[in-house]
């Protein structure tokens, strides 16, 4: 399992983001509280202290200006007393002022009344101390509590999801062909696996057991079908070939025998394709070094009876050649379906198989297809001309499944009334010099 996207890491990231968001909100709150303390509470305190002093002054003209640990006052009457006022305060106008730290950083209130000026100064050091004790210290305590709670909650959440993480790691190590279901037996589960996780583990064990049975059944069917289906078809083919070799057969009988032979060959090809596709993963067919031109020649030779008496020529255009490490049977089934399909839908003209450096092209001059038909060509049992008796409509579907299974892309080009061209690309092809072709049979150029 990718640790960067694992459940445990996601929970950890969620708690980190949560703690960071709470910390940011707390710092922002303390900063706002500090601003309120500085610009509202102290300003109000200075204003109320000034109002109280003016009342005392009205009652007693000799009343002393405020002079406490936090606050210092100065009274200027007709220019007298200005010498006691610090230089940075003398030029200030009436109102509330916040001096920069270079000038002492004090908070100052200046009020004029009846020719008298009152200057009250609140020390910045005291503002900072108040902000620290009533802001930073509570903030630090709150953050410590938040982090402890977040860490405790994370540990509890981690323990809660640990059974799910363990279960995911066990399933990840399974071999799809042979899942180790014994690891999910009740006696093999960790102590903390309970509740929904226990139900999930039991369901996965039952599901894996069922899959294992189905895989074994599929394997047995493929093995039995490989023997039980091929044998009777081979017997029918050999008996039919013997009948075809009998010279006493009438033309009508020979035509029927040839139809039987064609159907038997189609059945052999279909059985071979179905058995290859039915195998899961490994096809059971060992790869070998194939020469593309040789495989194409063999398939063209097998396709000759499909043309029959139609004015159609089969030809091999060897533009280049290549070797391929693959199963000969798989390549033969794929090419056989393409060539047979071309022969079925070509009434006159040609079927050409071109071998290039990394692809094989099967081109015909048959009925072709419209763009709408071309979109449906790989659908099982779909045929471009349902009036024809040749073919079952699954050849191209088999071709597509084989191409996807072995990584050989297939591309079709077709024009209605002009023919079809099928390209099979082999990415693993190794180009080799084209060899001279032997003299072909009469209907294979």
pLDDT at 324: 94
Residues 6+ apart with CB under 8 A from 176: none
In a domain, 159, yes or no: no
Domain count for the chain: 2
In a domain, 423, yes or no: yes
In a domain, 250, yes or no: no
Looking up residue 348, the CATH number of its domain turns out to be 3.30.565.10
Token pair listed for 110: 């200046």
Asked if residues 63 and 56 have their Cβ atoms less than 8 Å apart, the reply is yes
pLDDT at 284: 56
Q: How many CB atoms lie within 10 A of CB 336?
A: 25
Which of 130, 164, 190 is where one domain is finished? 130
Question: Domain of 69?
Answer: 3-130
pLDDT at 146: 80
Which of 111, 130, 149 is where one domain is finished? 130
pLDDT at 356: 94
pLDDT at 16: 80
Q: Which uninterrupted H or E stretch holds 113?
A: strand 107-113
Q: Which residues in the chain land under pLDDT 50?
A: 1, 3-4, 441-445
Q: Which whole-number Å values give the CA distances from 6 to 10, 68, 197, in the listed order?
A: 6, 62, 17
pTM, two decimals, is 0.52
pLDDT at 363: 96
């Amino acid at each position: 399992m990718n640790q960067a996207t694992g459940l445990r890491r996601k929970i950890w990231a969620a708690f980190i983001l949560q703690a960071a968001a709470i910390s940011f909100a707390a710092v922002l709150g303390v900063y706002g509280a500090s601003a309120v303390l500085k610009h509202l509470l102290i300003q109000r305190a200075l204003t109320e202290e000034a109002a109280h002093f003016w009342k005392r002054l009205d009652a007693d003209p000799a009343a002393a200006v405020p002079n406490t640990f936090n606050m210092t006052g100065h009274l200027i009457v007709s220019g007298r007393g200005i010498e006691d006022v610090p230089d940075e305060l003398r030029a200030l106008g009436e109102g509330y002022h916040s001096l920069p730290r270079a000038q002492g950083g004090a908070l100052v209130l200046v009020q004029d009344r009846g020719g008298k000026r009152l200057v009250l100064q609140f020390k910045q050091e005291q503002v900072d101390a108040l902000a620290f004790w009533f802001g930073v210290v509570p903030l630090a305590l709150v953050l410590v509590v938040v982090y402890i709670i977040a860490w405790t909650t994370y540990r509890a959440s981690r323990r809660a999801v640990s059974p799910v993480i363990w279960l995911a790691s066990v399933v990840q190590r399974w071999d799809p062909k042979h899942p180790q279901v014994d690891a999910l037996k009740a006696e093999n589960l960790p102590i903390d696996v309970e509740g929904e996780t226990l139900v999930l583990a039991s369901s996965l064990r039952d599901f894996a057991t069922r899959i294992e049975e189905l895989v074994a059944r599929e394997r047995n069917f493929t093995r039995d079908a490989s023997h039980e289906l091929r044998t009777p078809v081979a017997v029918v083919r050999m008996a039919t070939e013997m009948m075809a070799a009998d010279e006493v057969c009438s033309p009508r009988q020979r035509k029927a025998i040839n139809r039987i032979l064609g159907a038997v060959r189609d059945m052999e090809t279909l059985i071979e394709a179905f058995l290859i596709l039915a195998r899961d993963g490994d096809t059971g067919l060992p790869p070998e070094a194939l020469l593309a031109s040789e495989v194409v020649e063999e398939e063209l030779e097998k396709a000759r009876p499909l043309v029959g008496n139609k004015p159609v020529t089969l030809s091999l255009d060897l533009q280049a050649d290549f070797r391929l490490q693959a199963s000969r049977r798989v390549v033969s089934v794929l090419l056989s379906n393409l060539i047979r399909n071309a022969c079925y839908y070509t009434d006159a003209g040609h079927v050409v198989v071109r071998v290039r450096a990394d692809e094989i092209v099967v081109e015909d001059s048959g009925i072709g297809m419209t763009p709408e038909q071309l979109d449906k060509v790989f659908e099982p049992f779909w045929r471009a001309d349902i009036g024809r008796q040749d073919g079952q409509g699954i050849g191209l579907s088999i071709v597509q499944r084989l191409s996807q299974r072995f990584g050989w892309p297939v591309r079709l080009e077709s024009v209605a009334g002009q023919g079809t061209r099928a390209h099979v690309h082999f990415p693993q092809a190794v180009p080799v010099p084209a060899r001279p072709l032997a003299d072909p049979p009469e209907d294979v150029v």
